[in-house]
Structure 1
Amino acid sequence: MRFRHTLLAYASCIPAFAIMTAQAQEAPVPTDNQKTQETVRDDTALQAIVVTGKRLGITNVRPTATVSGLEQEVTEIPRSVTTADSALLKDIQVRSIHDLTAVAPGTYTAAFYGVAGAVQIRGNVSDSYYRGFKGINNMGYYETPTESISGMELVRGPASPNYGAGKIGGMLNLTPKTDIATSLKGTTDFKGLVTAQVGSYGERKATLEGGLPFKIGDLDAAIYAYAYYNDSDSYYRHFSPNDKELQIGYAMDLGGGTELTIGGRYLDQSGHLASPGWNRLTQNLIDNGNYLAGSPLVSLAAPGAQSLMPAQLAPYITSLRQSTSFANPLPRGTISNLTRLDPATVEYVKLSRRNLNTSPLDFNDNKVFTAYVDLIHNFDNGDQVKLQGFYEDLKNDMYSAAGSATAADGDVKEIRLSYLVKRDFGEGFGFQAIVGANYRDYKIHDFQNYGRQYVIWDRNDISAEPTADMIINNQYLNPNGPVWDFRYYSRIKSVGAFINGDITLFDKAHIQGGARIDDYNIRSRNDGLVTFGGALGTDYYGSKSPISWQASLNYELPFGFIPYVTYAKTQSLETNKGGGVDPALLIGRKYLSPSELKEAGIKGSLLDGKLFLSLAAYKMKRQQRDALSGAINEAHSKGLEAEIRMQVTPEFSLLAVGALQQTKRRGYATVLLNAAQLGRDGADIYAAEWTAGSTSFTGATGYYIDRVLPKETFSIFGTYKFPFGLKANAGISYVGEISGIAPGAVKVPDYVTARASLSYTIDRYTVDLSVENLTDKTYFYLGQDTYSEVAAMPGMARAFHLRVAAQF
């Protein structure tokens, strides 16, 4: 493949190029561990103002304890991990988790109902963490904030044993702005930052943040606050993001080596609608923008109604929702007037990329409250004990025009006690280890509508405003309150114990490994109308104590190269959208998902920290659940990932990331079918919906390749800092061809998008002008899971952003 050749050629020539450019430099570049008394100013996060000696942006590959719980440099961690501070995220224009492909190899997130909640890593949905704690499961409830953080760490593969038995795909850990309070302790001056941003399509955003260090007696303390406000229009029709976020953090030394950190956030988010994108998907639509418009031939809506409700749908549901098989000859399905469009309204039109399958009645409202506390004691010998607490609460209400809807009300509490011990025996021998225990209590009320099949994706003509005949089962209009197909309640209590350690041999070799045991006690019930198994309105219970473990070996070679190998086996809970456990899984005792990871790679920090590189190869497998059928299937992924960061000269820095991957799935999955897969004219079928099982086209093996995920991704970005306060950043991202998973699937061609920005700083003021999708490239994300054959989310068109920042 051309991508593979390009990536390997680039990776092979980088070290030589770096050495030549480093020799040509006239001024030295400070290494990460050099301290300075000069104030470093950056307009994204005030931790830059508190002097740490760390570089910001592309070349900031900082130490992290998130992966292992141990104090290690990224090069010492035998896993594939990416760290990014707020300066890098701003320069690369990471505005949602879809943009992480530009900074982190192995990440590509397909359209999950249009809401960028959980990132996909190595072909699998990852876990989301906040300051090292796993919060409420965010499978498309709310947009994960990427502009209100001071940094993130993205780990490919399972989390460290001290963070829980997570998904094998990986984890995304966010560090809030308020963690800056810890760095502010011991300084003397108030620091603040205010920003305002306007842009294309009615963008209006503002932030205000600041921190105050002070003393209580002889003890250092600091408080930090951050506020974010977004009241914007959108590129997409009916979308109107309205976000408010407040963070507060407090840090204090208590004396005698003890310190306290406490803080929290409140996020109120609405207007990010849940739509996978375009419907009535054809190759002609993707290639040329030609859309078959038209209204249903038979009107079913009650007079004066705003939506089709179950009373109108139920008598005809066997025609409106049909199941077929790829084993059947073409044409498939039974057509009738109920499935057809009105011939008088049918025509081909050019569809705007701004039109999605939505309606004026769509909404998505979320409120998230998060709180945390750390009590840490540092001993004179370097040991450390931590007592940490975490709480998160989520409330969600969502409706989408095609008929899907959710409501959630849940909270999670966790307490973790850990002890970190470090010993240096001299002559290149030593070890460090963390041991501890945690208690976690997870409760969720998770309501969903799709089980009675009152969801019809193609019925809505998205080239025009929808009528009541195109808006399906809006239970929020029910005067007696919403009626839900699934009304899950789950409570999961768990007690865990863990150990993770690193043994140093001969100052070069490291043996790392850890394990944890979790004692789960689960209660779950379904008070809805549809069940995948078990009686409605009945409590079901489950208890198991699985063990998860991982082991690694790395060795430091000359010139700073460190090869490593890692093997991990985990057992994590198989959960539904809200993070609860379906009673059907408790009955079948299939609520634990075994996973396996094999990974080998090489890392290096060369040229006094001016060049960082990482190359990793992996194979992994895990179980997962099909959303529509409830069946358990498997995912097998393999791939190659590369990341290079380089300070080419004191002024110019470079970032390149790339990945090759393939994900195979085995088992039963439900897919919706497009017109080509039915062998029908769209005008005959778009008033109804058609499904089939994957086993009808996979044959005896049951395997299919998940082509919704691109085989190849690659990005390269450069930043140049001029001596008079001007900074320029530009780069491109390449995404390979994608398609649905079944025969006759629509194909989305590969594409390249470009981004660029200019930033000018004078004294305490900064002005940024950035452009995303510089060439106005048309591109798409295909729908995940069930919608892979019938939905495509158009990417953002060219957009300009102007941002003004002032430090005080």
Structure 2
Amino acid sequence: MGCNRAYRHDCARALFALAPLLVALQAHAQDFSDEIIVIADPLEFVALEGSRNVYGLNLDYDEIPRAISAIGDEAIDRFNIDSVDDLAAIAPGTFTGSFFGVPGSVTLRGNRADTYFRGFKRAENPGTFPTPIGASERIEVVRGTTPAIYGAGRVGGFVNMTPLTALTQRRVGAEGSLLEIGGSNGSYGKRIANAAAGKAFNLGGKDAGLYGYLEYENSESFYRGVEPERFLFQGAATLSDDKWSLETGGAFYSSKGYKQTIGWNRVTQALIDDGVYITGRDADLSDLNGDGKLTPDEVDAAVGSFFGASNIRQFIEFGVFPAPAFALDAGVGTATLDRRTVFLSDRDIADAATGTAYADFSVTAGAGELRLQAFYDSLDGQLYQSYGFAAEYIADVVEFRASYEVPWTLGPVALDSVVGASWRRYDNETRQTFLSGYLAVDRRDLTQGPAGNDIFDDPFSDDANGIRWDTDLSSLTTDLAVFAVTSAKLTDRLSLLASLRLDRFAASSRNEGATIFNPALGFTQFKDDVFKASYEVSLSYEAFDGVRAYATFAENNALETNDAGGIEVDRIDQRNFVADSQLIEAGVKAGADALTASLALYRQERTRADPFGNVDQEISKGVEAELRYLLSDRWSANAALT
């Protein structure tokens, strides 16, 4: 795959940067028999044992023909990776997401990333809580389309997390039992406590174990008014003998106080450069009944109901024909704004709870291994910002997967294959308020703080004159699929990896919200189903010891969902709720002793459809490079280029 003009210079820089490294690695490989240098790798920084969670096969990361950044538990701790946003500093192609200050998920290659737990896709997290990524034994950042065992997924990639109970199991296996209690304090009132415990024992002649991890945070923050509190529990139980193994476990998470915020309003260059803020209030709108907020009838009493309660009203009265009633008319001037002061109020809501459970049974069957897995995840989140936005997200995910992995031969070719079937159900309720026009971010004077005439009503209240949910969507999707993945060793140095997946998607949605611009789409159940095929073909070649080149072509698909993973009724009505995607990727992976590096060039394409049924193609391409160097037992270096 050649370098496109749009990123030719970045490609050239990356190649020139890695060229000396590849030469050095080749020379080092040739001299390996003459000298052996042992450097301990306590962080598993360079050599991390492979994971079958990526493709369903037991492949080392350097054998997988895709761009992957794997981070072990010690590196998570040493590099202080507390949230998904921290991944942007260590994995190429990774950027922080846009969730108004709450790290719900990252962006990979320009697309919002999916989040997985032990190889299963979780409920969508649209910034209702910070994904507890720090409580992981391992984090895998996989860029590009999802492998066949996973099914539909965003073309940019996904983040897979293995819970810390896996680390507890490993330590208990070495010592028989474990009890650890720890905590940390930090600036701006950061306070976190945690504990891990585990015990291995014999149960009826079988190896058994119980493992648990607890974490609690009650902190303040740099921004005044953000005081996060969260609780996390992870648990697992195992039972096994020589032929089979069973693991069950799960996690519970709850949080409050992780308030979304727009940061500053009335933004000017002077505010950014010097902290000079435009002050003033609008006295026309009044909290007539003194309940500390503005209901729609109180807004209409001051400005009328021109164009009803739609976004058209906001556009006309603020943009084209500014209404005098919306102008600042009291205390207008300038002041210096403290950088810790942002748009928040005591009425803001940020509550979330999740529950996760899994069961994993594997048994030796013939020459291979049969694996039966079940997964459940749930989300219950409420959001409200006092400038007028509110949301409630409820989701339940159930997924079953059966797979059989077996090594076999075809003449002189050694193969390793996994075949299986899966069924997934995603039940979602999405409620949001922002379409009706009763929201404005510039009314509040941040130097004065929130007041009754700049706090807009929320649908969680029981006020008879209060605002209602603009969107009230109930959505159900199912995915029934079969898949196959095969890795073939064609020669001593040349390998082939191929996969195929067949999906039947079914979707059903109904919107009973108060603001539906197309009446034909309201209060009616919409249903549709579609059959899709996806596949991937990869070739990898070990040029010399420690250096492997690969090329991958894949066509996949993704569900076109809303913030919480539901399918909007217009998508079903237009029969475009499943979007196609394509990936072309080529790269090099190299490693020797204390040094590892990778280079990837990619071009990806996905179909996008707007609410009006217009279909477009979104194309992105780029270069990614990663370098890890273990300088000594105590020092290491990491570099990423995008």
Q: Fold-level match, TM-score > 0.5?
A: yes
Residue 348 of structure 1, CA deviation: 2.2
Matched, 1:140 2:134: no
Preserved CA contact (<8 Å) 1:515 1:549? yes
- Partner residue of 1:394 out of 375, 379, 393: 379
Matched, 1:619 2:626: no
State how far apart, in whole Å, the 2-side matches of 1:418 and 1:305 are.
Answer: 59
Preserved CA contact (<8 Å) 1:321 1:456? no
**Residue number in structure 1 paired with 2:396:** 411
Residue 322 of structure 1, CA deviation: 6.7
Residue 631 of structure 1, CA deviation: 7.0
State how far apart, in whole Å, the 2-side matches of 1:559 and 1:423 are.
Answer: 25
- The amino acid that maps onto 2:228 is P
Preserved CA contact (<8 Å) 1:152 1:172? yes
Residue 516 of structure 1, CA deviation: 1.1
State how far apart, in whole Å, the 2-side matches of 1:154 and 1:486 are.
Answer: 33
**Residue number in structure 1 paired with 2:431:** 447
**Using a 3 Å threshold, how does the CA distance of structure 1 residues 578 and 632 change in structure 2: closer, same or farther?**
farther
State how far apart, in whole Å, the 1-side matches of 2:448 and 2:634 are.
Answer: 51
Secondary structure class of the residue paired with 1:88? helix
**Using a 3 Å threshold, how does the CA distance of structure 1 residues 634 and 359 change in structure 2: closer, same or farther?**
farther
Secondary structure class of the residue paired with 1:476? coil
- The amino acid that maps onto 1:447 is R
State how far apart, in whole Å, the 2-side matches of 1:462 and 1:624 are.
Answer: 38
Residue 5 of structure 1, CA deviation: 8.3
Q: Which of 631-640 and 158-167 deviates more?
A: 631-640
State how far apart, in whole Å, the 2-side matches of 1:579 and 1:308 are.
Answer: 31
Preserved CA contact (<8 Å) 1:324 1:333? no
- The amino acid that maps onto 2:503 is D
Alignment of 1:451-470 (within 5 A): 451-470=435-454
Matched, 1:656 2:618: no
Preserved CA contact (<8 Å) 1:299 1:469? yes
- Partner residue of 2:405 out of 392, 395, 420: 420
- The amino acid that maps onto 2:623 is L
Matched, 1:159 2:146: yes
Identity of aligned residues (%): 30
**Residue number in structure 2 paired with 1:11:** 18
**Using a 3 Å threshold, how does the CA distance of structure 1 residues 211 and 309 change in structure 2: closer, same or farther?**
same
Matched, 1:483 2:462: no
Preserved CA contact (<8 Å) 2:211 2:236? yes
Matched, 1:436 2:436: no
Alignment of 1:752-791 (within 5 A): none
**Residue number in structure 1 paired with 2:4:** none
Preserved CA contact (<8 Å) 2:88 2:94? yes
Residue 590 of structure 1, CA deviation: 1.3
State how far apart, in whole Å, the 2-side matches of 1:267 and 1:156 are.
Answer: 27
Matched, 1:243 2:205: no
**Residue number in structure 2 paired with 1:29:** 38
Matched, 1:88 2:96: no
- The amino acid that maps onto 1:248 is G
**Residue number in structure 1 paired with 2:3:** none
State how far apart, in whole Å, the 2-side matches of 1:29 and 1:336 are.
Answer: 74
**Residue number in structure 2 paired with 1:215:** 202
Alignment of 1:678-689 (within 5 A): none
State how far apart, in whole Å, the 2-side matches of 1:456 and 1:406 are.
Answer: 16
Residue 633 of structure 1, CA deviation: 5.3
Matched, 1:228 2:237: no
Q: Which of 616-625 and 112-121 deviates more?
A: 616-625
**Using a 3 Å threshold, how does the CA distance of structure 1 residues 101 and 630 change in structure 2: closer, same or farther?**
farther
**Using a 3 Å threshold, how does the CA distance of structure 1 residues 394 and 430 change in structure 2: closer, same or farther?**
same
Residue 452 of structure 1, CA deviation: 1.1
Preserved CA contact (<8 Å) 1:187 1:213? no
**Using a 3 Å threshold, how does the CA distance of structure 1 residues 195 and 182 change in structure 2: closer, same or farther?**
closer
**Using a 3 Å threshold, how does the CA distance of structure 1 residues 624 and 313 change in structure 2: closer, same or farther?**
farther
- Partner residue of 2:589 out of 565, 579, 603: 603
**Residue number in structure 1 paired with 2:341:** 355
**Residue number in structure 1 paired with 2:249:** 263
- Partner residue of 1:569 out of 548, 555, 579: 555
Residue 265 of structure 1, CA deviation: 0.6
Matched, 1:474 2:458: yes
Preserved CA contact (<8 Å) 2:180 2:197? yes
Preserved CA contact (<8 Å) 1:566 1:599? yes
Preserved CA contact (<8 Å) 1:245 1:266? yes
- The amino acid that maps onto 2:106 is V
Preserved CA contact (<8 Å) 2:39 2:632? no
Preserved CA contact (<8 Å) 1:18 1:646? no
Unaligned residue ranges in structure 1 (runs of 5+): 32-53, 660-808
State how far apart, in whole Å, the 2-side matches of 1:289 and 1:11 are.
Answer: 43
Preserved CA contact (<8 Å) 1:190 1:213? yes
- Partner residue of 1:337 out of 314, 324, 327: 324
Secondary structure class of the residue paired with 1:345? strand
**Using a 3 Å threshold, how does the CA distance of structure 1 residues 263 and 135 change in structure 2: closer, same or farther?**
same
Residue 458 of structure 1, CA deviation: 2.2
**Residue number in structure 1 paired with 2:620:** 637
- The amino acid that maps onto 2:115 is S
Matched, 1:307 2:277: no
Residue 463 of structure 1, CA deviation: 3.0
**Using a 3 Å threshold, how does the CA distance of structure 1 residues 205 and 396 change in structure 2: closer, same or farther?**
same
Q: Which of 633-642 and 269-278 deviates more?
A: 633-642
TM-score by length of 2: 0.91
Preserved CA contact (<8 Å) 1:115 1:142? yes
Preserved CA contact (<8 Å) 1:92 1:102? no
Residue 578 of structure 1, CA deviation: 1.6
**Using a 3 Å threshold, how does the CA distance of structure 1 residues 426 and 288 change in structure 2: closer, same or farther?**
farther
**Residue number in structure 2 paired with 1:501:** 486
Preserved CA contact (<8 Å) 1:298 1:337? no
**Residue number in structure 2 paired with 1:689:** none
Secondary structure class of the residue paired with 2:572? helix
Residue 303 of structure 1, CA deviation: 3.5
Alignment of 1:53-92 (within 5 A): 55-92=42-79
Residue 443 of structure 1, CA deviation: 0.7
- The amino acid that maps onto 2:387 is A
Matched, 1:368 2:368: no
Residue 507 of structure 1, CA deviation: 1.8
Alignment of 1:112-151 (within 5 A): 112-151=99-138
Alignment of 1:529-544 (within 5 A): 529-531=514-516, 533=518, 534-544=520-530
Secondary structure class of the residue paired with 2:149? helix
Q: Which of 597-606 and 108-117 deviates more?
A: 108-117
Alignment of 1:722-761 (within 5 A): none
**Using a 3 Å threshold, how does the CA distance of structure 1 residues 13 and 280 change in structure 2: closer, same or farther?**
farther
Residues 449-474 of structure 1: per-residue CA shift (max 9 Å, x gap): 11212221222222331112222232
Preserved CA contact (<8 Å) 1:295 1:461? yes
**Residue number in structure 1 paired with 2:95:** 108
Secondary structure class of the residue paired with 1:557? strand
- The amino acid that maps onto 1:278 is W
Residue 187 of structure 1, CA deviation: 4.6
State how far apart, in whole Å, the 2-side matches of 1:218 and 1:188 are.
Answer: 19
State how far apart, in whole Å, the 1-side matches of 2:606 and 2:108 are.
Answer: 13
Secondary structure class of the residue paired with 1:469? coil
Preserved CA contact (<8 Å) 1:186 1:221? no
- The amino acid that maps onto 1:477 is S
Secondary structure class of the residue paired with 1:311? helix
- The amino acid that maps onto 1:577 is D
Residue 591 of structure 1, CA deviation: 0.6
**Using a 3 Å threshold, how does the CA distance of structure 1 residues 208 and 430 change in structure 2: closer, same or farther?**
same
Residue 485 of structure 1, CA deviation: 0.7
Residues 98-139 of structure 1: per-residue CA shift (max 9 Å, x gap): 211111100112432222112110111011111111111112
Unaligned residue ranges in structure 2 (runs of 5+): 1-6
